[in-house]
Structure 1
Amino acid sequence: MNLSILRGPQARLAKRKLLAITALSLITACSPPPPAKVLADTSNLAILPAYKSFSLSSEKLATAANSFCSKPNTEQLELVRDHWRVAVDGWSGVQNLQFGPLLVDNQAWKIQFWPDKKNLIARKVEALLRSDEALTEKRVDDASVVVQGLSSLEYLLFDPKLGVLDSFANAATGSRRCALLIAVSGHLHSVANGLHDAWRPEAGNYVQIFTQTGEDNPEYPDDSVALANLLDTLVAGVELIKRDKFERPLGLASSEGQAQIYLLEWWRSQYSRDAIIANLKALKNLFMAANGYGLDDYLSKVKQHGEFSTQIQQHFDRSLTAAKAIPNSLFSSAEPRSQAELIQFQTEINELQLLLKSKLPEALGISLGFNAKDGD
């Protein structure tokens, strides 16, 4: 536009329009394309905070274990148990991620050994306690994953027979139980902190690998591969809840199924239902990139499936409501097929799984990959 031929108000109006167009062009040029924004916001607003939360909760658990063992008493034991529960919530926030440092070198197994079909946790932990070896973080790190992490700590803190104050205060056995409690909780924090560091920009910077896709990126040659990992995480996470954390142990996987309650996650602490709730919250948070630009926005604004995006969010909420309505621990659920709250949760989680596995890939235009739980 030739502004030199315009005078007075016309010139001023034309200049304002030109400035507005220029500013809009600059903003558009500086804004990342939608898929890149999904990856950036999901990483920075959902994944990194989840790893940080797990690291901090494991640190507080280790501190509480040390304080308790300096002078074992009932109040301090309950405090350690509370910190263990918070750490489980933190772990539940990253447990289902199907990519990144968590999959390297058995990191997930170092945090949780489950399902324990042969009661290996009790056998291996007790064998280590009976040995003459010094119970240090190094010894725990060298040992089997069975005696590491939250599963081993659950046995030490909640076993119906041995997870009691007398086991730690007993002059003959208490010192070794405390030594193992301190060593395992310290080792857990090292693993959790290492995972957080692996993602942080200031350390391992996996966040850059995940968000800066391209031909030179060996893991993510384009955005669609990274987005597929988010999709896989949502699907695998809900399937793990539905099948392994709920239907199989309660005998609801088929009409002839028999309950196997000792396959429940966290059965000793009776924290199974609470961990499912934490899982669902984390998966919904991942879908929405917390309050950022997530898959929900991409689905709505780019793929023009706003109603479907809202539907997924509503089904997450309905599954959460149904899980919270279960009146007691899953471990103490008698006759699961006749308990209305359990059947309602099964209905809701089935519908959520159907949306994520059968309809979301097509809506996003992304193929669902093979995850570690498929065919299990």
Structure 2
Amino acid sequence: MTINKNKPLLLATLMALATCTLSACGGGESTTKTNTNTKQDQKETEVNTTPEKMTTEQGYEKLTINLVEGVIVPLYDQLYASNVTLSSETEAFCSKTSRTQNDIERLQATWKKTSYAWQQARTLKLGPIADTFHYSRIQFWPLSSQKLASDVETLLNENHDFSQGLSDLKHQLQGLPAYEYVLFNSDVTLLGAQDIVKRCEYLQAITANIEGLLSQDIASWKGEYGAAFKSGSGSFSSKEAALEKLLTIWFEYLEIIKDNKVNEPMSMQAPGKAELLENAYSQTSLINIKANVEALELLYTGGDGFGFDDYLKQVNQREDLDTQIRLHFKAIYEALQATKFKPAEQLLVNDQGRAQLNAIGSAITNLRSVMDSDFVQVTGLNPGFNTNDGD
């Protein structure tokens, strides 16, 4: 009796199991469809991350705006702030009744920071700073270290009233190189100078002079000149013309690095001509090149904003060329790093050092080659390749 009573229950259980098995098969098919949909969603997401193709004019507009607002003005602002700090620390140093070597070294470190900011900004020999000769008043170069020393010492032996400014002096007496000579010169040290008060007045006049020049240049970039560059108006016939002018300066500065900063001091053979090195007294010539290349790369990439690298990718669909250009920048940094940033005058006198300097020049030439061939051909931008005749 018990067995007979449980038969219906057993049959019901078996039927339920069979139904579950069939449902499981159906569930497996449903899971497969879900996975397929997920993969499709991923593909669509990947497609959506591809840079949207942009027209040439759209690219020009984004480039001109970001280069002014995201690169050029910030570089000038950084330099201005650095010079203000140098001015403040110069005043503090000069106001002391007794000074130590530590005080000198602190001031030297501040000058180096200001000089580094200038070396980045000086790649922008464009617009107000060039048209008004402010560029050469902040740094007149190339100029031999002996000529600089002679001119500064002659000035200090005269009865010049530095409180009246420096605008009536030779350009090489108005800017950072003159300050460098007074601060770093080991033949007539600032601490040991009998005329330290006069030298301090001169240093303070230099920073005040630079501040006045930069104030005008920055105001112009933030105002009328910057607006003209962004809109392709004023002295520019179009946005394209504005970009081509900037690229012309960019290319010329590569030549300045290779010719004036590397080849001329190397001369034809050892020991070279150390007196032609840039910033020979502070021995920062190789650091200067690093700062220059960083700024040139910043102009290419646009920093955090839209740059020529983005233009290649979104207008020309040539990410491969951007990769190639970035590798050339990397090669320059590696060549610089190989020198361990020793004083360049030490590298001029032996074969190993000269080979390292040659490697820097070659890396710069390689970057220039790909830029003035592939980059120009692909973008259609045609900067003027004027023969460089120095600063």
Alignment TM class, shorter chain as reference: 0.7 to 0.9
* Residue 375 (structure 1) shift: 8.3
For these two proteins, the number of residue pairs brought into alignment is 335
Deviations 1:180-216 (A, max 9, x none): 111112212222232222212xxx3421111012xxx
The corresponding residue for 2:180 is 154
Q: Choose from 78, 84, 89 the match for 1:64.
A: 89
Are the equivalent residues in 1 in contact too, given 2:325–2:367 (CA < 8 A)? yes
* Residue 92 (structure 1) shift: 1.1
Q: Does 1:288 align with 2:301?
A: yes
The corresponding residue for 2:260 is 244
CA shift in 2, pair 1:333/1:36, >3 Å: same
Q: Does 1:199 align with 2:224?
A: no
Q: Which amino acid aligns with 2:316?
A: K
Structure 2, unaligned runs of 5 or more: 1-52
Q: Choose from 100, 115, 128 the match for 2:155.
A: 128
Equivalent residues in 2 for 1:105-254 (5 A)?
Answer: 105-117=132-144, 119-136=146-163, 138-167=164-193, 170=194, 173-200=195-222, 204-213=223-232, 217-251=233-267
* Residue 233 (structure 1) shift: 2.6
* Residue 258 (structure 1) shift: 7.1
Structure 1, unaligned runs of 5 or more: 1-27
SS of match in other structure, 2:75: helix
Identity of paired residues, percent? 27
* Residue 118 (structure 1) shift: 7.8
* Residue 295 (structure 1) shift: 0.8
Distance 1:373 1:58 in 2: 29
Pairwise CA RMSD of aligned residues? 2.4
Distance 1:295 1:220 in 2: 19
Deviations 1:57-104 (A, max 9, x none): 111111111111111332222121111111111111121224211112
Distance 2:210 2:147 in 1: 19
Q: Which amino acid aligns with 1:149?
A: G
Q: Which amino acid aligns with 1:53?
A: Q
Q: Does 1:325 align with 2:352?
A: no
Q: Which amino acid aligns with 2:335?
A: A
Q: Which amino acid aligns with 1:37?
A: K
Q: Choose from 104, 120, 131 the match for 1:93.
A: 120
Deviations 1:267-288 (A, max 9, x none): 1110001010000001000101
The corresponding residue for 1:17 is none
Distance 2:188 2:142 in 1: 20
The corresponding residue for 1:83 is 110
* Residue 304 (structure 1) shift: 2.4
CA shift in 2, pair 1:118/1:45, >3 Å: closer
Are the equivalent residues in 1 in contact too, given 2:261–2:285 (CA < 8 A)? yes
Q: Choose from 343, 350, 353 the match for 2:365.
A: 350
| TM-score normalised by length of structure 2 | 0.80
* Residue 345 (structure 1) shift: 2.2
Are the equivalent residues in 2 in contact too, given 1:111–1:149 (CA < 8 A)? yes
Distance 1:355 1:336 in 2: 31
| TM-score normalised by length of structure 1 | 0.83
Q: Which amino acid aligns with 1:232?
A: T
Q: Which amino acid aligns with 1:210?
A: F
Are the equivalent residues in 1 in contact too, given 2:83–2:211 (CA < 8 A)? yes
The corresponding residue for 1:5 is none
SS of match in other structure, 2:113: helix
Larger Cα Rg: Structure 1 or Structure 2? 2
Are the equivalent residues in 1 in contact too, given 2:190–2:196 (CA < 8 A)? no
CA shift in 2, pair 1:139/1:234, >3 Å: closer
CA shift in 2, pair 1:57/1:124, >3 Å: same
Distance 2:127 2:270 in 1: 35
Q: Does 1:46 align with 2:71?
A: yes
* Residue 117 (structure 1) shift: 3.8
Distance 1:250 1:118 in 2: 15
CA shift in 2, pair 1:291/1:205, >3 Å: same
* Residue 139 (structure 1) shift: 3.5
Q: Which amino acid aligns with 2:250?
A: L
Are the equivalent residues in 2 in contact too, given 1:241–1:276 (CA < 8 A)? yes
Distance 2:181 2:279 in 1: 9
Q: Which amino acid aligns with 1:248?
A: E
Are the equivalent residues in 1 in contact too, given 2:145–2:276 (CA < 8 A)? no
The corresponding residue for 1:8 is none
